[in-house]
Structure 1
Amino acid sequence: MLDIVDRKILRALQCAPRLPFRRIGEVAGVSEQTAARRYQALRRSGTLRVLGLVNPRVYGSAQWVARVRCRPDRVGPLADALARRPDIAYAHLASGGSEIFCVIRSPLDTERDDALFRQLPKSASVLDVSVDLLLHEYGAPGTAEWTGYGDSLDAETVRLLTAERPSPAPAPPPPPADEDAPLLDALAEDGRTTHTRLAERTGWSSARVARRLESLESSGTLEYEVELLPEHLGYPLNATVWLRVAPAHLERVGEEFARHEEVPFVGAVTGEYNLLASVVSRDPDDFYRYLTTRVAATSGIDGYSVSMRARPLKKAASLISRGRLVPPVSF
């Protein structure tokens, strides 16, 4: 379990993923060396990964939410094949063991079935597929991240740290140059890779690395994400809550759910249930409390459905193997 120093380190990274260890140590009340050592221990355990990823808007990508119902005896191989695909941003097996939930990044004009089944063999193991478009993600950087593990930083510190995070550009970002590939590959493995190490990977000078990073960040081409495994932090029960909300209330309800400490992600989607929220809990009693207090107290919800997560498969650029976040090449 995390102590208060670990919690402060995690929250500082969520606010500013490339924050120097010296600054993290100041926030956590420890030395720079202790902050670095604690971070590396969390990373080695597979609890945490910091990633630098190309903004999908660069390539005009939309995100599609898919639910694939399969024959129970064939769901494992298909789930693993989906999770390995680079266009799959997130995947898990739902309770019951016969449904795969995944988020696909694909151009908006792609046929929905093509977006899901491209490069996969046609198989009788698939019984039913539903694919909906993710319309909007709620919550601003530094506020939407899951903090149920214990947010031990005060609001002013969070504000100051978030101000140190690169601000996204309002206009669509330009695509990276071909020569950026080694730089971006290194950041996809570890978003906190030092300028010195990035210089070694690219063959550039450290000064050129710094200039290029600043350009990619300020344009919104390069984004950083902090991935956590709630299971390692005392929250083994995970669910997707599907909500039906009238359009007049959608923005308000979405923003309200984004402020819930139990919710790492909430987004508006097409389909009968037009809002989905990922919810993490300690146990069934904790989840029941969330449904009967936080969800029940929110006006504008006309109906809901719950899908429990049976086994995590992938988060962003990380596969989940043996309960650890790992780069795809290591799976």
Structure 2
Amino acid sequence: MLDDVDRKILRALQCAPRLSFRRIGEVAGVSEQTAARRYQALRRSGALRVVGLVSRRVYGAAEWVARIRCRPDRVAPLAEALARRPDISWAHLASGGSEIICVIRAPLDMPSEDVLLRQLPRSASVLDVSVDLIIHNYDAPGTAGWTGYGENLDAAQVGLLTAERPPPTAGPPLPPTDEDAPLLEALAQDGRTTHTRLAELTGWSLSRVARRLETLEASGTLEYEVELLPERLGHWLHAILWLRVAPAALERVGTEAAGYAEVPFVGAISGEHNLMVSVIARDPEDFYRFLTTRIAATPGIDAYAVSISVHHLKKAASLISRGRLVPP
């Protein structure tokens, strides 16, 4: 189980994924060596991966959420195959193991021959498919994904972590060059790969590595994900809430939901239930408390449905195998 030091290290990484262990140790109140040792233990356990990814905005990809209802005896092979597709960025089994919920990254003008939309309904294992566009992501200020494990940092600690972050540049992110390929491949495997190792892999000087990273990060081309496996951290229940919200209340409800520590993702979607809220709880009672104290107290919600995840398949850049985050 996590202790206070582990929690502070996780929060520090979410604020600044590539920050030095010396600075992370200062925030966590431990030595540089202890911070590094604790991080490596979390990483080896499969509970944590830090990955560097090219932003989907570089190529104009939209995100679509698909709900695929299948025959229970045929769902596992289909789910595993979907999770390995590069255009699938997130996948879970839900509703007693008969429904696959996944997020697809594809352009708005997705071709009609797309495999997921065109071929899946022909499969004898697929009973029903619905696909909705994610039209807006709600990001809570000062957070970076799920923080329900606790130990929030104060403003001074967050300032210490983010002080060295390069200021963002104006304009849309630019596509990386062919020369960036080994750099980006290394960061996709481990977002904390050292400058020295990146120089070895690219054949560049240390100064060139540092300059290129700063340019890619500041332009928004290169983003980092701190992927956590909640089950390894004592949070065993993951649910998707499908909320129906009046348009006039959508911005307020979405922003409020994104601010809850239990919520790693909130998206406005194009379906009848127009708000998708991912919730991570310790157990059913914890989830019930969230429903009755958080959701029930939020005006503007007309109806809701719940999908309970029974098996995690994929996060943004990791497959989930035998209860561990692993590279795809």
What TM-score does the superposition give when structure 2 sets the normalisation length?
0.96
Q: In the alignment, residue 311 of structure 2 is paired with which amino acid?
A: R
Q: Which moved more, 1:144-153 or 1:40-49?
A: 144-153
Helix, strand or coil at the partner of 2:90: strand
1:85 pairs with 2:85? yes
- Give the unaligned 5+ runs of structure 2: none
Distance in 1 (CA, whole Å) between partners of 2:72 and 2:256 is 36
Distance in 2 (CA, whole Å) between partners of 1:48 and 1:295 is 29
Compared with structure 1, are the counterparts of its residues 176 and 251 closer, same or farther at alpha carbon in structure 2 (3 Å cutoff)?
A: same
1:68 pairs with 2:68? yes
Compared with structure 1, are the counterparts of its residues 321 and 127 closer, same or farther at alpha carbon in structure 2 (3 Å cutoff)?
A: same
- Give the unaligned 5+ runs of structure 1: none
Q: Does the 8 A contact of 2:23 with 2:161 survive in 1?
A: no
1:17 corresponds to: 17
Distance in 2 (CA, whole Å) between partners of 1:272 and 1:112 is 23
Compared with structure 1, are the counterparts of its residues 280 and 112 closer, same or farther at alpha carbon in structure 2 (3 Å cutoff)?
A: farther
Aligned pairs (5 A) from 1:151-190: 151-166=151-166, 169=169, 171-190=171-190
Q: Does the 8 A contact of 2:52 with 2:224 survive in 1?
A: yes
Q: In the alignment, residue 178 of structure 2 is paired with which amino acid?
A: D
Q: Which moved more, 1:133-142 or 1:60-69?
A: 133-142
Helix, strand or coil at the partner of 1:91: strand
Identity of aligned residues (%): 77
2:52 corresponds to: 52
Distance in 2 (CA, whole Å) between partners of 1:245 and 1:121 is 29
Aligned pairs (5 A) from 1:89-168: 89-111=89-111, 114=114, 116-117=116-117, 122-140=122-140, 142-166=142-166
1:31 corresponds to: 31
2:43 corresponds to: 43
- 1:166 CA drift (Å): 4.9
- 1:112 CA drift (Å): 7.0
Compared with structure 1, are the counterparts of its residues 206 and 120 closer, same or farther at alpha carbon in structure 2 (3 Å cutoff)?
A: farther
Q: Does the 8 A contact of 1:106 with 1:115 survive in 2?
A: no
Compared with structure 1, are the counterparts of its residues 116 and 164 closer, same or farther at alpha carbon in structure 2 (3 Å cutoff)?
A: farther
CA RMSD of aligned residues (A): 1.8
- 1:141 CA drift (Å): 6.1
Summarize deviations over 1:75-123 as a string: whole Å, max 9, x none.
1110000000111100000022111000000111004772625797952
2:242 corresponds to: 242
Compared with structure 1, are the counterparts of its residues 166 and 252 closer, same or farther at alpha carbon in structure 2 (3 Å cutoff)?
A: farther
2:221 corresponds to: 221
Q: In the alignment, residue 44 of structure 1 is paired with which amino acid?
A: R
Distance in 2 (CA, whole Å) between partners of 1:119 and 1:175 is 31
Q: Does the 8 A contact of 2:50 with 2:227 survive in 1?
A: yes
Compared with structure 1, are the counterparts of its residues 115 and 258 closer, same or farther at alpha carbon in structure 2 (3 Å cutoff)?
A: farther
1:8 corresponds to: 8
Helix, strand or coil at the partner of 1:262: coil
What TM-score does the superposition give when structure 1 sets the normalisation length?
0.95
Q: Does the 8 A contact of 1:24 with 1:35 survive in 2?
A: yes
- 1:142 CA drift (Å): 3.7
Distance in 2 (CA, whole Å) between partners of 1:238 and 1:112 is 33
Q: Does the 8 A contact of 1:264 with 1:278 survive in 2?
A: yes
Distance in 1 (CA, whole Å) between partners of 2:93 and 2:224 is 26
Aligned residues: 328
Summarize deviations over 1:200-232 as a string: whole Å, max 9, x none.
111111111111111111111000110001111
Q: In the alignment, residue 78 of structure 1 is paired with which amino acid?
A: L
Helix, strand or coil at the partner of 1:96: helix
